[in-house]
A and B are shown apart, each in its own frame.
Chain A
Amino acid sequence: MITARLQRTPLGRAALATRNRWRFFALSVLLATGTVLAAVGLLTASGYLISRAAQRPEILSLTVAIVSVRFFGISRALLRYGERLSSHDLAFRTLTDLRGRFFDRLIPLVPAGIDGSRRADLMSRFVGDVDRLQDVYLRALSPPLVAIFCSVFCVALASVILPMAGLVLAVMLLLGGIAAPALTRWAARHAGRRQARARGHLAGDLHEIAFGGAEIAVAGREEDWLRRATDDDAELLSLQLRDAMSGGLAEGLGTLLAVGAAVAVTAAAIPAVHSGELNGVMLAALALLAMASFEAITPLSQAAAVIDATDAAAGRIEEVTERPVPVIDLDHPRPIPAGGPIRLEKVGFAYPGGDGLLLDRAELELAPGEAVALTGPSGIGKSTLAELLVRFRDPDEGRITFGGTDLRDLDQEELREAVRLAPQDAYLFNTTIAENVKLGRPEADRERITEALAEAGLEDWINSLPDGIDATVGEDGAKVSGGQRQRIAAARAFLSRARFLIFDEPTAHLDPVGAAALERRLVDRRNQGCGILVITHTLADPDAFDRVLELRDGTFREIRDGGPGGRR
Chain B
Amino acid sequence: MAQAQTRAPGASRQARETQRRLVRSSRVARNHLIVTVGLGFIQAVLVIAQATLLARVIAGVFMDGESFAEVAPLLAWLAVISAGRGLASAGFESAGRFGAARVMSELRQRLSRHLLLNRPGALQDQQSGDLVSSAIDGVAALENYFARYLPQAVLAGIVPIAVLAWVVRYNWESAIILAVTAPLIILFMVLIGLLTEQRTRKRWERMSRLSSHFLDLVGGLATLRANSQAYSQAGSIEAVGEEYRRETMGALRIGFLSSLVLELLAMIGVAMVATAIGIQLADGHLELVAGLTVLLLAPELYLPLRQLGAQFHASADGMAAAERIFEVIDQPAAVTAPAEPVPAPDPARWSVAMEGISYAWPGRERVLESVDLELAPGEKVALVGPSGGGKSTLASLLLRLAEPAAGRIVCGGVDLAAVEPRDWRSRIAWVPQRPTIFAATLADNLRLFNPRASDQRLAEAIGVAVLGDLVAGLPDGLETMVGEGGRRLSAGQAQRIALARALLSEAPLLILDEPTAHLDHQTESELSEAINEAARDRTALIISHREEPIARADRTLVLDGHGLSERVAA
Contacts and interface: CB of A to CB of B under 8 A. Distances in A.
A260 B227 contact: no
A416 B225 contact: yes
Contacts of B266: 77
B212 A283 contact: no
B187 interface: no
Given A46-B274, A221-B448, A378-B492, A76 B267 contact: yes
Nearest to B306: A80
Contacts of A73: 264, 267-268, 270-271
Contact of A117 (B116, B224, B488, B522): B488
Interface stretch (B18-26, B233-241, B371-379, B549-557): B233-241
Contacts of B228: 413-414, 416-417
A32 B12 CA distance: 32
Interface in A426-464: 426-430, 439-440, 442
Given A74-B268, A127-B211, A252-B87, A221 B79 contact: no
B451 A221 contact: yes
Interface stretch (B159-167, B249-257, B312-320, B561-569): B249-257
B63 interface: yes
B278 A62 contact: yes
A221 B501 CA distance: 13
A260 B214 contact: no
A416 B226 contact: yes
Interface string A67-96: 001101110111011001100110011011
A168 interface: no
Contact of A270 (B71, B105, B430): B71
A512 B547 contact: yes
Chain A interface main SS type: helix
A284 B414 CA distance: 87
Contacts of B490: 378-379
Nearest to B137: A203
B292 interface: yes
B14 interface: no
B68 interface: yes
A512 B387 CA distance: 10
A505 B213 CA distance: 27
Nearest to A212: B436
B57 interface: yes
Interface string A41-58: 011011101111110110
Nearest to A509: B387
A171 interface: no
B79 A260 contact: yes
A478 B219 CA distance: 14
Contacts of B136: 203, 206-207, 210
Contact of B270 (A46, A207, A219, A271): A46
Given A218-B425, A251-B93, A54 B388 contact: no
Contact of A107 (B92, B132, B221, B223): B221
A69 B271 contact: yes
A492 interface: yes
B291 A50 contact: yes
Contact of A273 (B62, B119, B282): B62
A96 B278 contact: no
Contacts of A318: none
A291 B54 CA distance: 12
B325 to A, nearest CB: 12
Interface majority SS on B: helix, strand, loop or mixed?
helix
B85 A259 contact: yes
Interface stretch (A223-231, A341-349, A397-405): A223-231
B140 to A, nearest CB: 9
Contact of A263 (B82, B115, B278): B82
A283 B256 contact: no
Nearest to B385: A511
B412 interface: no
A241 interface: yes
Contacts, number: 436
B193 interface: no
Given A93-B245, A260-B82, A103 B234 contact: yes
Nearest to B217: A103
A274 B62 CA distance: 9
B132 A210 contact: yes
B129 interface: yes
B232 interface: yes
B241 A439 contact: no
Interface in B384-443: 386-388, 396, 399, 401, 422, 425-426, 428-430, 432, 435-436, 438-439
Contact of A80 (B260, B428, B546): B260
A241 to B, nearest CB: 6
B102 to A, nearest CB: 7
A214 interface: yes
Interface in B435-459: 435-436, 438-439, 448-449, 451
B86 interface: yes
A248 interface: yes
A96 B279 contact: no
Nearest to B422: A220
B113 interface: yes
B90 interface: yes
A545 interface: no
B229 interface: yes
Contact of B68 (A96, A274, A421): A274
Given A99-B214, A124-B215, A476-B219, A54 B226 contact: no
Given A54-B288, A244-B98, A70 B122 contact: no
Kindly list the 7 A-B residue pairs having the minimum CB-CB distance in the complex, ordered from nearest: A214-B121, A252-B90, A96-B241, A256-B86, A248-B94, A212-B436, A217-B120
Given A69-B274, A213-B120, A215-B121, 18 more contacts: A42-B267, A56-B283, A106-B218, A106-B221, A210-B122, A213-B121, A216-B116, A217-B120, A218-B449, A220-B422, A229-B112, A254-B89, A259-B81, A378-B523, A420-B227, A511-B386, A512-B545, A537-B521
15 contacts: A66-B278, A73-B271, A123-B215, A209-B112, A226-B112, A243-B97, A260-B82, A266-B58, A273-B61, A291-B299, A416-B227, A478-B1, A481-B388, A512-B547, A514-B386
Interface of B: 1, 50, 54, 57-59, 61-63, 65, 67-68, 71, 75, 78-79, 81-83, 85-98, 101-102, 105, 108-109, 111-113, 115-117, 119-124, 126, 129, 132-133, 136, 211-232, 234, 237-238, 241-242, 244-245, 248-249, 252-253, 256-257, 259-260, 263-264, 266-268, 270-271, 274-275, 277-284, 288, 291-292, 295-296, 299, 386-388, 396, 399, 401, 422, 425-426, 428-430, 432, 435-436, 438-439, 448-449, 451, 484-485, 488, 490, 492, 501, 518-523, 545-547
